[in-house]
Structure 1
Amino acid sequence: MPQYVPITGFKQLEDALKVHAKNNCLIYMYFFGEKDSTGRSWCPDCVAVEDLVETAFREYSHPNSLIYTVNVGDRTAWKDKSPANKFRLPPFNLTVIPALLRWNNSERLDGDQLLKPDLLKLFFDEAKSQSATDNTIPCK
């Protein structure tokens, strides 16, 4: 079963990558808008894809992978287009949330692409097949 790593903010993401990326683990990153006390995000697109993404994680992700669930902050923080919003800069280059990325790879799904179950399945299938042929390893 994949290991979920809840992350809030850019600094926590950097710290987690320092620990896990050095092992060349298979890491998926799901970026979403901060949730309120009821567990609902301020981002309507994030709310719309949440069940589909969670189902895809359960059904398709590599069982020994890491899944970073990355809270990018409140609406004001996310809408900041200055360099202060480091999520918008390399290596993540986020322009929309929700977004799903595979670390150290160009594979990603952004926004309404996450509403398409076939694309989600393909995203995870591609990651599994590539991890078998490159030097990416499942995390233990």
Structure 2
Amino acid sequence: MPIITDYKLPNSADALDLPADSNSPFFIAFLASRDPSTGRPWCPDVIAALPYLEATFSAEGSPRAAFIEVGQRPEWRDPRNVYRAKWNVNNTPTLARYERVDGKVKEVGRLVEAEILDSKRLKNFITSSSASL
């Protein structure tokens, strides 16, 4: 499934649009925004993780994933940044996994920064059931 780059993030995880009759996970990668002068993310950790994330989520049969840019460095550092305040994201990159649990959408796991660079850990995070995370 293709990577979603224009995903409209709702106000909270419980408002994510996950099918009610499916156990399919949905992933959100919170990434540093691209610097307009270079076209590359301003965060070196995001630059390192992007090839892993792109390869994982553009592969045949991969689950849905939205890539969300959290802002340029000054807006990201603001404690009131919407991703910090409403989504509890304090590091870039962060890969969060969401699923329906007892009928409600919940975050069931996340990988942060260098954890994403561990190919085996990333694959396990994407393919395992949430119970084994």
**Shorter-chain TM band:** 0.7 to 0.9
CA contact (8 A) 2:3 2:58 kept: no
Normalising by structure 1, we get a TM-score of: 0.71
Q: Which residue of 1 aligns with 2:107?
A: 105
Question: Is 1:96 matched up with 2:91?
Answer: yes
Q: How many residues align?
A: 120
CA contact (8 A) 1:28 1:100 kept: yes
**What do residues 71-92 of structure 1 show as CA deviations (whole Å, max 9, x unaligned)?**
11111111111xx2121134x2
Question: CA RMSD, aligned part only?
Answer: 2.8
Question: Is 1:120 matched up with 2:105?
Answer: no
Q: Which residue of 2 aligns with 1:87?
A: 83
Q: Which residue of 1 aligns with 2:102?
A: none
**Structure 1 or 2: more strand by fraction:** 2
Normalising by structure 2, we get a TM-score of: 0.74
Change in 2 beyond 3 A, CA 1:77/1:121: same
**What do residues 42-79 of structure 1 show as CA deviations (whole Å, max 9, x unaligned)?**
111100111111112234x854x321110111111111
Q: Which residue of 1 aligns with 2:17?
A: 20
Output the amino acid matched with 2:77: K
Could you tell me how far apart the structure 2 residues matched to 1:47 and 1:106 are? 25
**Structure 1 or 2: more helix by fraction:** 1
Identity of aligned pairs, percent? 26
Q: Which residue of 2 aligns with 1:134?
A: none
Structure 2 counterpart SS, 1:119:
helix
Output the amino acid matched with 2:39: G
Report how far residue 30 of structure 1 moved. Answer: 0.6
**What do residues 8-33 of structure 1 show as CA deviations (whole Å, max 9, x unaligned)?**
7xxx3117x75723646631101101
Gaps of 5+ in 1: 132-140
CA contact (8 A) 1:29 1:102 kept: yes
Could you tell me how far apart the structure 2 residues matched to 1:130 and 1:47 are? 27
Could you tell me how far apart the structure 2 residues matched to 1:94 and 1:4 are? 20
Matches within 5 A, 1:1-140: 2-7=1-6, 12-14=8-10, 18=15, 20-21=17-18, 23=20, 26-37=25-36, 38-59=38-59, 63=62, 65-81=63-79, 84-90=80-86, 92-103=87-98, 104-126=106-128, 129-130=129-130
